[in-house]
Structure 1
Amino acid sequence: MSVTEAAFGLESLLTDEQRSWRDRARIAGAVIAETIDSDAESAVFRREYVRLLAGAGLIGMGIAGPGAGADAVSYGLACYELEAVDTSWRTFLSVQGPLAMGAIAKLGSPQQRERWLPGMAAGELLGCFCLTEPQGGSDSAALETTAVRDGGSWRISGVKRWIGLASVADVAVVWAKTAEGIRGFLVETTDPGFAATDITGKFALRASLQCDVVLDGARAEELPGATGLSAAFTCLTEARYGIAWGALGAARACLDAAIERSTAREVFGGPIGAKQLVQARLADAFVEFEKGMLLALHLASLKDAHALAPLPMSVGKLNNVREAIRIASAAREVLAGDGVTDEFPVMRHLANLEAVRTYEGTDDIHTLVIGRALTGLSAF
């Protein structure tokens, strides 16, 4: 068991079923961990791990397929365990599940759900969620991608950026501006009007795929329930929930590495863990981990009660990612110079967490969401 988890007493807060889901994710994560250092170094996305996660029932947990009966804590634990290995694979779970599958399940027609969800849950079909645009970033309302009617279907033209899985996806959930307002659509990626190119030169999320997408008159079918940006935000809220848990997995991995090193490395006549300044760093990091985990458990109770509103989700995403970065940074300090080498996972986690800090709402955006909720005044 993780030293950090043992000190927190996490095991006693989980049911047998939740532990079972946690263990499935941990076993899958152990397989991914065997190659993650080289995969990150070489920027390799291993498609075979998709089937691994599907076989464990982890794809689309709570939506469709083998994991449909999982509660919110179980899904959170899956995100937590995968991100303890690498953010890239928790990101996969978020894009394939709450974003792509979630949009089809919540907003699609019965025919669309039947067409796509079983294959996606099995890992046979992949999806992506095309919302972010190069010039818009956090300003999702400023979409420039447009959709126009073409007989019984639609044609979409525009550019999207930082779209996870787009170059390997079979179906894209695309958000575009229409004469009636913003709507969501499905585009099959085999359409000649859809093109995705992997973004290279990344220092984060190197074992996953993020892409530039160009839509040039791509044929699309509308998602019946995807009217307005609020529909897109329901999917984003679900994805942010997984992030709040996942970031703590990265934090745990870093803190465990620092704790172990603090008892093994000796300087000035004894282990560095016996020095007050080292203990202070570890203690502060542990306190933030525990607070973040309690917050994640609270969010889970809200989610299971169908009461997970944007405000608590912004608190969860802002706090847990921000504190995970601080924990990883503190761990790097304890590891000293060795902390910047691949002997430890800390720098890889730090780089990944910086990407997580940016996507699904930056710190600034979530701060303003919270401020607006508290004052009733928009500062955007």
Structure 2
Amino acid sequence: MSTYDNPHNNKQELITEPWAIRSSVRIKLSTRRIIGFVMTVVPLVLIVVDFSILSWFLLGLIPIGSVMFYRSRRTLNKENWRASHPSYTSLNQHEVSYSQWDSRTQDIEENRFNKSRIERVYYGRHDVKDIHLYLEKDSEEVFALPVIHFIYDQNMKRRAHSVSFLYEKDAERWMELLSSMEVPLIFTSEITTDTMSEAEMLDKLLNDRGQQKFVFHRGVDDSFYNYLESVNDEFNQAYENGTLAPEEEEEFLRRVREHKEKERNSSALLSVGPGWFIFVLQWGAAYYMGLKAMQGEIDAEHWLTPSIVVMGLSMLFYLLVRRLLWPQILIYMIGSFINLMIASSVLEGLNSSEVAAEMYASLYSSVILCSVLLWIPYVLIYPFKLGKRERGIRYERD
């Protein structure tokens, strides 16, 4: 959030302003929404008005256009909602007040607390999703945003309220005012996120073993990065010397496992897992269909049966992958075409039947024919896989 001084108040008061989506991003999203709509509707119209090979393969644009339309529309709607439901936090030398909307529940929380109720103030970093919507910097250059966490007591209960900033200069103005209020200022190395509950954030901050009190000076962000380097050096040295406490070592290993799991889940190839078995199964399917074609039970020149097999195996492939990601549509399509061509060449060498050879050719040709439809089983299975993964995450937490 950006910050401004209240000109109608004699005392110094800092008030945050809601982040505004950049105009260039809004134009880009609006353009994508229009293009996505065209890519979704035009192929359907063409397939009805003038069915041809070209109109058939243009069906492959539908999933791309649908995703483009849906994502751009969802983002614009979310930002429009945020703009019409602004949140703010106000800080003066006597109290903190805030009005905060929750976009998920569409509820508002309004609260204020006196400076005497503030136990401590943390300065750290906050990970914000879709930061590229608000910052002109390359999102890869922005690791996390400056954040101030207020830990305060209210109604015999410890609570937390966080204020994140797009720019370090705004956070520094807040820290400067807070330093004059004589509240404890503390650096934290823990990175918080928007998805954390208040209880999770409290637990993470209060149990940060690397937290360190500091005295405010100009250039607080430089001091913060020096602090992070010292925390990292101390931890590495303790790890090398084997002097980490058991709980610290367990926490470190947990983070390493989470990082490896995140890398694995973000890779479409590494996430295939048991799905690779399908490419072995395709050899068995090709052999069986060639045998049935020689027996006259399957028409070797007909495309329907091979297409059903290709689509059916794609569903099984999507079900077996460890985590379903859209590039796996391409992995299945390209992998199946190459795999079935190789299988056809090998099986033709073992069986010189012309009917079987035609069946093998129909099978890998059907992969090309079905390439524009492989997104359909993906869309059908994705909600099932997503629900299963979310249930697994909840079970691990419990």
TM-score range for the pair, normalised by the shorter chain length: under 0.3
Bigger relative contact order, structure 1 or 2 (CA pairs below 8 A, ≥6 apart):
1
